[in-house]
Amino acid sequence: MSPIEKRTNTIQIEHTVSAWGSAVSQLASASNLSEEQINDAVRKGGVWRKKHNAHKIRRVRDLSEGLTVADQLFLNYDPKILAQTPLIPILVSDQLNYSIWNKPSGMLSQGSRWSDHCTITEVVQRLHGKPTYLVHRLDKAASGLMVVAHTKNALKKLAEMFSAREVEKQYSVVVHGELTNSLPYSLNMPVENKEALTDILEAKYNEAANTSTLLVRISTGRKHQIRSHLHAIGFPVVGDRLFDPGREHTQDLQLISCVLGFDCPFTKQRKIFRI
């Protein structure tokens, strides 16, 4: 039997494909799971493959095709993750080669080794009926505009635009406290030892709630950049359980990607998307 690891009802297996039976039956036997459970894990992105004599490990969607003896399979089975129901994004604009969606708070941009069925790319692919590729990320707890590509060419062109900082990105953010700095106010502080630039363009104070609604523009796209910068200057984002864990939170993260602007890589026309 292949090596098996169990932790709090999760199962991880590395299995070398043999000549007997199907790959599904082999994984089922090695894991003591049913074939139905194995097929569910495959559909939801919990099974990976490394071809014999290859170096890369890739997610596998169909165990009935392309497998050969001596290929390695990696099963990552977590019943709680696999039981999660995907959230549904709202289509903002279909640009044929790419589309823009309003991601709800709680939806993942990227999957993990355990699954990817709740990610925006997998959900959009099912909703839209097109191949879908991730161009950029948005925090799970944040909501708002995201661009996804539907061709490899669109992915390349859009990713190059984001990398070259040719995409205008603005966010509506609610923070604790009253921001009285002269605007625009620029924050230039590294995040994880990488350059990170954030500009606060507007601020509107709500005295009753003691919160300020900010319009923020970022020139870089570091992980948790806005949350990190605003917390560093004493204005944590409302609902930010990561950077402001000592507070009792009654709301979800109040951070919305509200504006995306760029020159369409296909028509060269300026595109501005707002929510």
How many Å is the Cα radius of gyration of the chain?
22
Strands 72-77 and 47-50: antiparallel
Could you read off the pLDDT of 174-185 as tens digits, one per residue?
999 999 999 999
Largest Cα separation within the chain, whole Å, is 72
Residue range 61-80, pLDDT digits in tens: 999 888 899 999 999 999 99
From the list 78, 116, 139, 240, the catalytic residue is: 139
Residue written as token pair 């603005």: 170
Q: Residue 216, SS3? A: strand
User: How do residues 113-143 score in pLDDT, each as one tens digit?
Assistant: 999 999 999 999 999 999 999 999 999 999 9
DSSP labels for 60-121? -S-TTSS--TT-EEEEEE-HHHHTPPPP--EEEEE-SSEEEEEEPTT-BSS--SS--TTBHH
Contacts of 140 (CB under 8 A, 6+ apart): 105, 106, 107, 108, 109
**Does the annotation mark 78 as catalytic?**
no
Give the domains, in start order, of the chain with CATH numbers. 4-82 (3.10.290), 85-275 (3.30.2350.10)
